[in-house]
Amino acid sequence: MLILLGFIVLMGCLVVGVRKGGLGLAAVSGIGLIIFIFGMGLKPGNPPVDVMLTIMAVVTCSGFLQASKGLDVMLKYAEMFLRSNPKYITILAPITTWFLTVLCGTGHVVYAMFPVIYDIAIKQNIRPERPMASASVASQMGVCASPASVAVVSAVAILAATSHPFGVMQILSISIPASLCGAFAAGLWSLNRGKDLEKDPEFLAMIADPEKKAFVYGEIEGQNLANKTLPASAYRAAGIFLLGIVAIAIFGSFPQLLPHFPNAKGVLKPLSMTPTIQLLMLAIATLIMLFCNVKASDVASGSVFKSGMVAIVSVYGVAWMADTYFSAYLPIMKKTLSEVVLAYPWMYAVVLFLVSKLINSQAAAVTVIVPMALSVGVDPLLIVGFMPACYGYFVLPTYPSDLACIGFDRSGTTRIGKYIINHSFIMPGLIGVATGCFVGYILVHLIY
């Protein structure tokens, strides 16, 4: 009964917190902790300090990249690529947004691409829902495949403390092809989804009004980065950032290049990738600041930095509350959960997927579920292979990127259905995640 009561408290805090937003989620977690510790007498768990510090370093670096307009450089070339291949927008849009997220570490870069994707689709008489919904899904699938993403660095930090550590490149060697296959599958399925515009009675009725037709086919001002001249400092910033990502990949692949220090037993061991990523991210931010004319005060006002700081606080509260609950009842849960997961390995992916939806964060889902899974004996290979399952918040169309996608589609084809769950993102999301998990599971067992 106590286990059930604790689970109800945990889920109740998550549901209430999600409705209040990221900071609200962290605040409500405090209530959950008080109930657990003062009400139920549970020993306080440990907040994920290493994960939080890594997130802070990554977010700081990404914030300097945005402030320097280095992010605009990447978006500019993405737009040029899409406009040079307009007929294939349904396939190329999700691949492009996935790639941008892999480079930048955040799916929020997709906002600048929605107007471009819509403009290309409507001018090609392609139903905008087809490329736009799959592009929104793919942008979030790229999170688990980026060396600069919070979800990946969190997984690295957690696995580093186990007897089966996986480095950045080991995880990416699985998550990159797996999530890319998922993004491609989502785009492929979207090729013929919905009615063609000339056969859609709702669309035809809407554009029968001259004003609405002019709005649907009209130009979107201020969104054409392809023709925008960016300062040389922006290109330097983008170059510095990409070189930093390459450095992380090299150190992750060749740990012998890292400084070595004696462990508790006096054996020389390479510096862990967790502090390595933190140090490199801060160094990259410093180089951008010094060589690209960036004011440190401008970073804090950027959307990337703000959303990242909210993520840190959310992870702090949610992970601490979850660790307190699971640690208290781990001996009881361990036998049952390990038997279920050993008999049905895919259940780990289902649990991770559902928690991601509840928390609305891939990083938070990883920090909550991965430590619990490791403690009950889940094979680290499964954890790496099922990385795409940490994206589950498309199930309900409440995530900012999905809502923005609906807002940018002037044709009204990207929408939320009558029954809420039947929205434009549900099928591309399910197909993308399922494909990614299937490919990841196969690859991790073939390679490792």
Q: Residue 72 corresponds to which tokens in the numbers above?
A: 């605009």
Between residues 41 and 25, the one the model is more confident about: 41
Per-residue pLDDT, 58 = 78
Separation CA 278–CA 54 (nearest Å): 5
- Give me the chain's average pLDDT, please: 85
d(CA 268, CA 214): 69
- Angle 393-187-131 (CA atoms, 0-180°, nearest 5)? 85
Domain that holds residue 69: 2-447
Contact 207, 146 (CB under 8 A): no
For the record, the structure tokens of 252 come out as 């992750």
pLDDT digits (tens, 9 = 90+) for 53-103: 877 887 888 889 889 988 888 888 888 999 898 999 999 999 999 998 888
CA dihedral 170, 174, 179, 181 (to 10 degrees): 150
Give residue 364's pLDDT: 78
Residue 220 banded pLDDT, cuts 50, 70, 90 = low
Q: Which residues are within 8 A (CB) of 176 and not within 5 positions of it... i.e. 6 or more apart?
A: 102, 145
Question: Per mean pLDDT, which range of 84-88, 193-197, 244-248, 332-336 is the poorest?
Answer: 332-336
- Residue 240 contacts residue 284 (beta carbons within 8 Å): yes
Q: How far apart are the first and last CA of the chain?
A: 41
Q: What is the mean pLDDT of residues 125-138?
A: 96
CB atoms within 10 A of CB 374: 18
The proportion of the chain whose per-residue pLDDT surpasses 90, expressed as a percent, equals: 36
- DSSP states along 116-143: HHHHHHHHTT--THHHHHHHHHHHHHGG
Weakest mean pLDDT among 63-77, 191-205, 233-247, 324-338:
324-338
pLDDT band (50, 70, 90) for residue 222: very low
How many domains is the chain built from?
1
Residue 262 bridge partners (DSSP): 268
pLDDT digits (tens, 9 = 90+) for 385-430: 999 999 998 987 767 788 778 888 989 999 887 777 888 999 999 9
The residue behind tokens 């977690």 is: 29
Q: Can you give the pLDDT at residue 435? A: 97
